[in-house]
Amino acid sequence: MTDPAALRPVSPDEWPAFAQAMSDVFGEEMDSSFVERPPATAELDRTLGLWDGDRVAATSGVYSRTLTVPGAVVPCAGVTWVTVSPTHRRRGVLTAIMRRQLTELHERQREPLAALWASEGGIYGRFGYAPAALRGNLTGRTRRTAFRPGVDLGTGTVTPVDVGAYRAAAPRVHEALRRWVPGALERDERWWQRLLRDPADRRDGATARRYLLHTEADGTVTGYAAFRVRARETADGEPDGTVLVDEVRGRGTPAYAALWRYLLDLDLIRTVEYPHASADEPLRHLLADARALLPRPVDGLWLRLVDVDRALSARRYPTPIDLVVDVRDEFCPWNEGRWRVAGHPAGGYCGRTDLDPDLVVDAGALAAAYLGGVSLGTLHAAGRVTEVSPGAVALAATAFSWPVTPWCPDPF
């Protein structure tokens, strides 16, 4: 077992070796600028590295993010850059990294939640993480994407713009919308800069990223979209291009629908792909043909409740709840035990109690249900939740739900 104390933050001078270690394990060629110096989003004091002589054998980092949860916005530790060299596997290194991160978050009373994007699905469940927001992976043939009669496209205008105009207008729309969607993350200047990077060697045969703005008659920007096009032909010379959609956001149905109509009507395009769509993307409900776009949902954002009391007190509950939950959490023992969870649409409370439990739930199941995208009833059916008081599962499943499907289009 590796001693968590052997892990330490990386210094600026050590960054190139740290970045190269990530590149080696991920099996991808990092941009030279990334290897040479930390990116603007890096927080070196929140990194952890394990050194074997002059060589970096393991890496990890944390971003200080802000996450939308049901009814609130909460600080969240964005876990990233987690690698362990093949020479140091099966020695407890990853466990030491996870334990060190979560213990420091708890002891320093920093973020009550931690989140990550998992490179492999079987790794992080044993540390109390669980998929809490799916990505929809929408695909379809554009010729079948006619809208239902009566869809309101409004009177605004969709205009192709350069990256400068997009960068000036899109953040305001994003900020207005992201506070209503559980799983959404803030984007400050650093994150917009990262999002808009477009190196030619990462385009996989597609065009440079293209941008759209939706503008009302008074000049107000009410929507934006980012996309690429990959041109190709069939064997008999017919056009068979693909529009690769990065993001589409609109402040209201007309702006959203008009942006999609532009994308779906592009010349020479026959297929649309939207990997980071919401698992319940509204576009599907605009279509006359319900089978025109096929979702293939996969896990997106994984969540971990660092402190059960702070996390459950932070979110809101659409219906009243007052239950005792017995939490099982071997990896973070400070969460073990019985908690009274009370809440309603205006606030929440969670504190220690000696009362008999209504539910018994493991930490991963609680994390899966936290954003409202996974039902506690489903987790009960899977054996992850034990009902002690009759009706407690139905009450908790209703109170932990949320009207807006969790969605995070920002891998980190």
List residues forming the annotated binding site for acetyl-CoA.
82-84, 90-95, 119-120
How far is the C-alpha of 197 from the C-alpha of 200, rounded, in Å?
Answer: 10
Q: Say if CB 269 and CB 238 are below 8 A apart.
A: no
DSSP one-letter code for 341: E
Residue 252: exposed, middle, or buried by beta-carbon count in 10 A (0-12, 13-18, 19+)? middle
What CA–CA distance (Å, rounded) separates 264 from 272? 7
Given a contact cutoff of 8 angstroms between Cβ atoms, the answer to whether 315 and 112 are in contact is: no
Would you give the DSSP letter of residue 224? E
Give the residue numbers marked as catalytic: 124, 412
Whose tokens are 């693909």? That residue is 242
Residue 197, amino acid: R
For residues 21 and 11, the answer to whether their CB atoms sit within 8 Å is no
DSSP SS3 for 297: coil
Biggest CA-to-CA distance, the chain: 74
DSSP string over 316-336: --SS-EEEEEEEE-SSSGGG-
DSSP assignment letter at 78: E
Residue 56 main-chain phi, psi, to 5 deg: -90, 120
What residues form DSSP beta bridges with 226?
A: 211, 247
Residue ranges for the known binding site are: 82-84, 90-95, 119-120
Which phi and psi (to 5°) does residue 210 adopt?
Answer: -115, 155
Q: How far apart are CA 104 and CA 106, in angstroms?
A: 5
Q: What count of Cα atoms within 13 Å lies in the side-chain half-sphere of residue 235?
A: 0
At 229, the amino acid letter reads V
